[in-house]
Amino acid sequence: MKENMKIIANRQIAKDIYELTLAGSLVQRMRTPGQFVHMKVANSGPLLRRPLSLCDINQEANECTIIYRAEGAGTTLLSQKLPGDTVDVLGPLGNGFSVSALSSGQRALLVGGGIGVPPLYELAKQLVKKGVFVTIVLGFQTKDVVFYEERFASFGETYVATVDGSYGMKGFVTDVIHHHRLSFHVLYACGPKPMLRALANEFPHQDVYLSLEERMGCGIGACFACVCRVPHSETAYKKVCSDGPVFRAGEVVL
């Protein structure tokens, strides 16, 4: 479950956004889109690991891809790593998106916000392989940070919105969904909490899966840093790292 994985590529694909390709035998354990790895970037520097979602799993090549935003000390240090360097990876961790919720011929709507977009890529890949029709809606702050639009377009109709209107439709992902009257059998989403909350409120009677983000400690369920509440209970909880990060809408309090 823990390995020093080798960096194959680490390149910038948008402002502060990097695409990291890693090789190692841990890839053979990676199956489910929406799972994450817990990464220790260097022996000196930041103490804790960083949770990073899997974006692409390529078992034939023994490689996986992760997309991250260089914002804090850990991810900035990671952005300076070169091919041939190694990083200490624990994983795969958590429960990802249920691909089996849909069968061939049904429709999925995939909605990603900002750095929540990457896990939807492997999800789209696996759904399309199953014969599911996918529609993708990606929301970003501004044009400079848009990534993977063409990549997603190869799987299905892809819409982009930016908050400032500098690219695609001006507004939020929910605006896109309304404007194009997008419908679905299952909705899968990953992104900031306000976005997830809006989607859950918008479609209270439909099958909606949401991937949550929370500051983590151990990443395996032992430290109780990343808990969230369960509706109608004072003490019940779910751990984002080990019960999630993907939950059914309504399963946890957003």
Partner 1 sequence: MNRLAVELPGLSLKNPIMPASGCFGFGREYAKFYDLSVLGAIMIKATTLEARFGNPTPRVAETPSGMLNAIGLQNPGVDRVINEELPWLAQYDVPIIANVAGSTVEEYVEVARRISKAPNVHALELNISCPNVKKGGIAFGTVPEVAAELTRAVKEVSDVPVYVKLSPNVTNIVAMARAVEQAGADGLTMINTLLGMRIDVKTAKPILANRTGGLSGPAIKPIAIRMIYEVSQAVSIPIIGMGGIESAEDVIEFFYAGASAVAIGTANFIDPYVCPNIIRDLPNVLDELRIDHISQCTGRGWNNGQTVYCGT
Ligand X SMILES: Cc1cc2nc3c(=O)[nH]c(=O)nc-3n(C[C@H](O)[C@H](O)[C@H](O)COP(=O)(O)O)c2cc1C
Binding-site entries for FAD: 50-53, 67-69, 74-75
13 part of the interface to ligand X, by CB under 6 A? no
Q: In angstroms, what CA-CA distances link 140 with 27, 116, 148, 170, 236? A: 29, 10, 12, 10, 34
Supply the minimum distance, in Å, between the C-beta of residue 70 and partner 1.
Answer: 16
The 193-232 contact track toward ligand X, x by CB under 6 A, reads ------------------------x-----x---------
145-155 as b/e: b if 16+ CB within 10 A: bbbbbebbeeb
Stretch that binds partner 1, among 24-32, 96-104, 119-127, 222-230 (CB under 8 A): 222-230
216-231 as b/e: b if 16+ CB within 10 A: bebbbbeeeebbbebe
Which residues share a beta bridge with 95? 245
Gap between the Cα atoms of 253 and 59, Å rounded: 35
| Residue at shortest CB range from ligand X | 223
- Cβ atoms of 157 and 111 within 8 Å: the answer is no
- Which of residues 44 and 100 has its CB atom nearest to partner 1 in the complex? 44
Which residues belong to the annotated binding site for [2Fe-2S] cluster? 218, 223, 226, 241
Stretch that binds partner 1, among 10-18, 133-141, 153-161, 232-240 (CB under 8 A): 232-240
Q: Please count the residues of this chain forming the interface with ligand X, following the rule CB under 6 A.
A: 2
Q: In angstroms, what CA-CA distances link 122 with 15, 27, 191? A: 22, 13, 15
Which residues belong to the annotated binding site? 50-53, 67-69, 74-75, 218, 223, 226, 241
Q: Which residues bind ligand X (CB under 6 A)?
A: 217, 223
Q: Which residues would be at the binding site for partner 1 (CB under 8 A)?
A: 1-2, 40, 46-49, 73, 90, 214-229, 234-235, 237, 242
